[in-house]
C-alpha cells in the first residue's frame, strides 16, 4: 500500500482521509496554517503528525493528497516550485468526489445563478473572511461590474473571537488565535488572483472596526455579501452591519451554517434572524444558508 500525506487538516482533509484510507496508508497531514505545524490530528484512534509543508519532501511518502477546497492550479504550482513536490506525486481526485466535490460545485452553481438574478439589482458587493481569495475571485468573475469590498484580518482568527468560541464551546480548542493566517500570502498576491482588481477595495483589520467610520462605506448599499468569517462574533457583526445596508432583493450568503467544525457561525445566524424575524434558507451545498432582503 502506498504511503500518503494529506495536505489540509480541516473538514475536507478529514473527509479525504475517509475516502482514501483503503487505498493509501496515511502517514501524516500537512497544512498551510503555521499554528498547526508540529501538532497532531487524532482520527479513529490513530494519531497523525501535522507537518510544515517544507518538510513534505523529508518524509518517506509516495503521494500527496490534496485535502482542501481552496486548492487551485496556482496552489499546485506553488507545491511544485516552492516545496519541490513532484507533479506525479500530487493527487487532486478526492476534492472532486462525493460530498466534497458536491459542496464545491453546488456553491459555485448557486453563485452563478444568483449573479444572473442580481443583474437588475443595484448595489456593491462584499466578502467577509477572504483568506487567500479563491471564492472572492469567483465572485469578482461573475459580478465583474460591482465595486467589491474585501474584509479580513489577513492574520488569521483574532484572540477575542477565539475566546468566545471556546467559552461557548462553538469550536475545538486547537482553533487558536492566528488560525487561517496566510503564511506569507500578501495583499498583492490576493489582488493578482482577481479577474478585475480595479473593482477591489481591501479592508484589513478586525471586523467590524475595519468598516465603521469608513466614509465610502457609510453611504454604500449592497446587492450581494458573502460571510465566511467562521466564528460567532464576526458572523453576528457581519449580519448586524450588512443586513440594514442591503438593497431589496439583495442576498447574504453565510458559509458554515451546517458546519461541524465551526458551530458559532450557525448560532450567530439563528440568534440574529430570530431576534429580527428574518427568514433564511439552505443553499444546497450542505454548509451554507442564504438571506434575501425583503
Summarize pLDDT for 99-115 with one digit per residue, the tens: 444 566 778 888 999 99
DSSP letter for 268, please.
H
| pLDDT, average across residues 34-62 | 91
Question: What does the pLDDT read at residue 83?
Answer: 86
Q: What is the Cα–Cα distance from 253 to 243, expressed in whole angstroms?
A: 11
The pLDDT of residue 137 is above 60 = yes
| pLDDT, average across residues 207-213 | 94
For the chain, state the CA radius of gyration. Answer: 19
Question: What does the pLDDT read at residue 68?
Answer: 81
The pLDDT of residue 21 is above 60 = yes
Question: What does the pLDDT read at residue 89?
Answer: 93
What fold characterizes domain 2-96?
Answer: Rossmann fold (3.40.50)
The pLDDT of residue 285 is above 80 = no
Contact between residue 65 and residue 5 where contact means Cβ atoms under 8 Å apart: yes
The pLDDT of residue 92 is above 80 = yes
CA dist 291 to 112, 128, 270, Å? 16, 15, 12
Sheet of 289-292: strands edge to edge?
A: 200-204, 148-152, 124-128, 222-227, 246-254, 289-292, 281-282
DSSP 199-232: GEEEEESSTTTTTTT-HHHHT--EEEEEE---SH
Spatial neighbors of 42 by CB under 8 A, at least 6 apart, are 48
Spatial neighbors of 201 by CB under 8 A, at least 6 apart, are 147, 148, 149, 150, 216
Same fold, 2-96 and 101-292: yes
Q: What is the Cα–Cα distance from 137 to 125, expressed in whole angstroms?
A: 12
In this prediction, residue 6 has a pLDDT band, given cuts at 50, 70 and 90, of very high
The pLDDT of residue 180 is above 90 = no
The pLDDT of residue 65 is above 70 = yes
Task: Report the range out of 67-81, 101-115, 117-131 with the highest average pLDDT.
Answer: 117-131
Q: What is the Cα–Cα distance from 185 to 78, expressed in whole angstroms?
A: 11
Task: List the chain domain ranges.
Answer: 2-96, 101-292
Question: What does the pLDDT read at residue 98?
Answer: 44
In this prediction, residue 72 has a pLDDT band, given cuts at 50, 70 and 90, of low
Return the CATH superfamily for domain 101-292: Vaccinia Virus protein VP39 (3.40.50.150)
Question: What does the pLDDT read at residue 108?
Answer: 84
Q: State the cell numbers at 210.
A: 475595519
Question: What does the pLDDT read at residue 100?
Answer: 46
| pTM, full prediction | 0.76
Contact between residue 26 and residue 20 where contact means Cβ atoms under 8 Å apart: yes
Amino acid at each position: 500500500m502506498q504511503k500518503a500525506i494529506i495536505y489540509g487538516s480541516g473538514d475536507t482533509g478529514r473527509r479525504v482521509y475517509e475516502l482514501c484510507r483503503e487505498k493509501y496508508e496515511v502517514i501524516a497531514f500537512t497544512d498551510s496554517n503555521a499554528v498547526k505545524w508540529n501538532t497532531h490530528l487524532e482520527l479513529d484512534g490513530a494519531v497523525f503528525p501535522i507537518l510544515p509543508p517544507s518538510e513534505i519532501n523529508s518524509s518517506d511518502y509516495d503521494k500527496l493528497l490534496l485535502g482542501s477546497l481552496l486548492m487551485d492550479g496556482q496552489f499546485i504550482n506553488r507545491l511544485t516550485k516552492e516545496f519541490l513536490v513532484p507533479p506525479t506525486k500530487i493527487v487532486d481526485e478526492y476534492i472532486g468526489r462525493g460530498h466534497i466535490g458536491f459542496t464545491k460545485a453546488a456553491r459555485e452553481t448557486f453563485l452563478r445563478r444568483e449573479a444572473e438574478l442580481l443583474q437588475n439589482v443595484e448595489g456593491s458587493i462584499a466578502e467577509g473572511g477572504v483568506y487567500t481569495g479563491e471564492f472572492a475571485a469567483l465572485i469578482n468573475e461573475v459580478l465583474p461590474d460591482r465595486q467589491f469590498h474585501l474584509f479580513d484580518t489577513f492574520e488569521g482568527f483574532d484572540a477575542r473571537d477565539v475566546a468566545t468560541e471556546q467559552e461557548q464551546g462553538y469550536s475545538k480548542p486547537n482553533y487558536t488565535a492566528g488560525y487561517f493566517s496566510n503564511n506569507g500570502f500578501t495583499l498583492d498576491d490576493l489582488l493578482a488572483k482577481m479577474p478585475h482588481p480595479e473593482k477591489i477595495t481591501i479592508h484589513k483589520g478586525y471586523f467590524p472596526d475595519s468598516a465603521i467610520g469608513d466614509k465610502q462605506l457609510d453611504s454604500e448599499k449592497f446587492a450581494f455579501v458573502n460571510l465566511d468569517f467562521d466564528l460567532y462574533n464576526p458572523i453576528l457583526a457581519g449580519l448586524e452591519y450588512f443586513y440594514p445596508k442591503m438593497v431589496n432583493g439583495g442576498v447574504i450568503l453565510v458559509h458554515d451554517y451546517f458546519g461541524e467544525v465551526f458551530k458559532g457561525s450557525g448560532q450567530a445566524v439563528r440568534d440574529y434572524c430570530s431576534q429580527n424575524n428574518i427568514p433564511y434558507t439552505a443553499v444546497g451545498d450542505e454548509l451554507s444558508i442564504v438571506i434575501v432582503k425583503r
